[in-house]
Structure 1
Amino acid sequence: MNKSLTASVSPALVSYKGSSKIFTLTSSEHNIEVGSWKIDSTQLGILDTYFIVEQKVLHGGKQEGSKIIVITSPNGLTITLSPTRGMSIINVTGKEMRFGWDSPVKEIVNPAFINLESRNGAGWLEGFNEMVVRCGFEWAGHPGVENGEMRTLHGKAGNTPASEVEIEINEEAPYEIKVRGLIKESTFKKADLRTVAELIYIPDTHHFTIHDQLTNHADYPRDYQIMYHSNFSKPLLEKDTQFIAPIKEISPFNDYAKSGLKNYSTYLGPTKDFDEMVFNIVPYTTADGSTVAALHNKDGSKGAAIEFNINELPFLTLWKNTDTEKQGYVTGIEPGTNYAYAAPIEREQNRIRQINAGETVHFKVKYSALMNKQAVDTVKKIIADIQGKQETTFIETPIAKE
């Protein structure tokens, strides 16, 4: 490590991997906590582009002690995530673009202040304001009791601080940045699941990828579930915004959603007393299982696309919550191994997977900011090509009842 870098960077533990530098910001194993930290591309000797990576420790209220990591690429995207909140992505911004939403929850709530079992198992909502939150991994979906145990709303991963956090920056073009955190869900006599949650971003681009590696460290097979709860609001969400995906089958989550089934693909503006509507989707794919779902604003001038593979994430949930802006005007596009029903229903309908002892499974989800009409039209054509002449089956009755 050269002197100029030593002088300008807080004392993170630095290691090397080929042409990359790895900065360790947190390590429970080695008793490391760097706290506030910052580096930019010039400090790495990179002069043909500019970016900043920094960690901030937050103070005040229920965010006391929470941390955020911010990647800033002036010609691309600014991505904010929180290692305190299970490596959730808080928001993503670019020129006239935002991924995320305005929740009534304004702080990056430290999980120490959340009781997941409050509100009949829906205490998770007291911290919910992320652009992407991992619902899982030991369980996901709505709260319920199974085998005498409470399965709280959307699992524990999103309220589990990362035990290990590191940032890897490649010093050769295109200067790929990786932010990794280790999420442990370990309970005596129960699960011992560990997830390496990774965000991958190349400066100056308008897309990023989540790559998660879930490993079962127990000596027995264990259940797992995961939904990537991906949330969008203004400027993408407005009256007559369109959701598009190649859909094989779609059904309403419950009786309330039945009335919105025929208009599942369009949105209202902020509407008082609108309860959430949820739809269960089985997507069509390419030959290798790849598929894409997208959202674009009314005139098709900007949008967001989510790419995933059904071999990893076979189901898609569409969440429409077009309530008032103060209440939370938002929609969620959620690739997952399951739907959002409580665990007993998901088990009964064979949507809970198992991971063998010592096994690792991977999940990749790519998010693209569609910055103009041309980008939107390109994704619309990809979706239309996947759909082809294949029909969409509308199941008008909910496939389960909670």
Structure 2
Amino acid sequence: MPEIFGLNLKPADLQARVGRMDQVAGARPFVFDDGPARGMRGIDVWTGSGLEFTVLPDRCLDIGACRFAGRALAWQSSTGDVRPERYDPHGFGWLRMFHGGLVTTCGLRHFGAPDSDGGESWGLHGRASSLAAEDVAVHRAWQGGRYLLSIRGRVREAEVFKSTVVLERTISTELGSREIRIVDRVTNAGHATSTAMLLYHINLGWPLLSPESRLLVAYSAIKPVTDHAATGLRQHCRMQQPTRGYGEMVYTMEPRADRRGLCRAALVNPGLDGGTALSVEWPKAALPYLMQWKMMGQGTYVLGVEPANCPFPPRAELRKSGKMPSLAPGEAIRVSLVLRVHCGRAELRALEKAVGAARR
């Protein structure tokens, strides 16, 4: 039985209290009607626990705004929500439509800085987040005493004479839950081997992010991406006030996993509502790297927690080192992530213990 508002109610008891389940938990499709997102699809989801988030089918089924108990968890950029037609594939043009949000998918054939490889030019973080999903379905139903909410769809990155890579995504949660589950299947639907680079750009912002906050993660190795980032290495897990002129600091980590092969990272704020954290859990076998984007600027005040299936480019170096992910025709990989909200000192202590249990 789900716990809702401090009560453990059987489905019949809960349904006796409401005219529709939407009163406490649901998923409602809508269309943006103003500004640069006009005409773009969205799906608002709420679970009754205080967790609310928006899925963006026309942006790779990514997750935009996310709140818990009215407090923002995700950073939202100055661009706001932007429809995919505004995508600029050249250089750093991706930043003109980078709305932030809880999860932005980077890939499916490239992520990281702009690059050239094999006669092709690659813009920042690839095309994935500009691709609209097809066969989108919203499912709301009781199952075994649980009220389940799920959104499914398929995203296709394709080009004539080149690769076709398909992402099938399911986002799920349930009544009373503080968890969001993402399950992805990435398939090479073409007829030649294709690269398959994947990074989950998870963007955490104020008030979860504050000078009191810290990044909780266990890793076996960490490498600053730039000389500037190296100057902040000792304090990379500590946050600060929004700072004028702050230069971004990016790190590549090799995270440790627990006995089940799961890695965890969390942003913990002990001063927010008696202690609040958001954690990310993922299988190391599928995503053996974790990127940290620490940006403590004014307006751009955000911590990026970014599991990935390979290090940052250059692509030529990835090929040379044997770290470029690729899929043969018909081959697929499965990736799952769980994002959880933790509340109160007891849950934060349990989270710290779970992260500390990672040994390999």
- The two structures have a TM-score, normalised by structure 1, of 0.80
Aligned counterparts of 1:48 and 1:261: Cα–Cα separation in 2: 46
| Greater than 4 Å deviation, 4+ residue runs | 44-49
Describe the SS at the equivalent of 1:124. helix
CA positional deviation for 1:384:
1.5
Match of 1:160 among 101, 123, 131: 131
Contact 2:48 2:177 in 1 (8 A): no
Aligned counterparts of 1:147 and 1:360: Cα–Cα separation in 2: 23
Match of 1:234 among 185, 202, 206: 206
CA change 1:261–1:312 in 2 (3 A) is same
Query: Which residue matches 2:344?
Result: 372
Query: Which residue matches 2:246?
Result: 274
Match of 2:77 among 103, 109, 130: 103
Matching residue's letter, 2:227: D
Deviations, residues 256-310 of structure 1 (Å, cap 9, x unaligned): 1010111111111101111110011001112332111111115471111100111
CA change 1:364–1:209 in 2 (3 A) is same
Matching residue's letter, 1:115: D
Is it true that 1:114 corresponds to 2:87 in the alignment?
Answer: yes
CA positional deviation for 1:345:
3.3
Deviations, residues 209-244 of structure 1 (Å, cap 9, x unaligned): 110011111122211010000010111111141111
Is it true that 1:290 corresponds to 2:262 in the alignment?
Answer: yes
CA positional deviation for 1:73:
2.4
Match of 2:189 among 204, 217, 232: 217
Residue correspondence of structure 1 range 266-345 to structure 2 within 5 A: 266-299=238-271, 301-324=275-298, 326=299, 328-345=300-317
Is it true that 1:83 corresponds to 2:57 in the alignment?
Answer: yes
Match of 1:92 among 60, 63, 66: 66
Is it true that 1:359 corresponds to 2:331 in the alignment?
Answer: yes
CA change 1:136–1:274 in 2 (3 A) is same
Aligned counterparts of 2:232 and 2:312: Cα–Cα separation in 1: 18
Residue correspondence of structure 1 range 136-155 to structure 2 within 5 A: 136-155=107-126
Query: Which residue matches 1:123?
Result: 93
CA change 1:291–1:85 in 2 (3 A) is same
Contact 2:258 2:357 in 1 (8 A): no
Contact 1:141 1:343 in 2 (8 A): no
Aligned counterparts of 2:49 and 2:236: Cα–Cα separation in 1: 35
Query: Which residue matches 1:183?
Result: 155
Matching residue's letter, 1:295: L
- The two structures have a TM-score, normalised by structure 2, of 0.89
CA positional deviation for 1:47:
6.0
Aligned counterparts of 1:53 and 1:64: Cα–Cα separation in 2: 20
Aligned counterparts of 2:259 and 2:26: Cα–Cα separation in 1: 39
Kindly tell me the number of residue pairs found equivalent between the two proteins.
Answer: 341
Query: Which residue matches 1:3?
Result: none
CA change 1:45–1:312 in 2 (3 A) is farther
Query: Which residue matches 1:16?
Result: none
Contact 2:65 2:76 in 1 (8 A): no
Deviations, residues 59-79 of structure 1 (Å, cap 9, x unaligned): 233212111101122334111
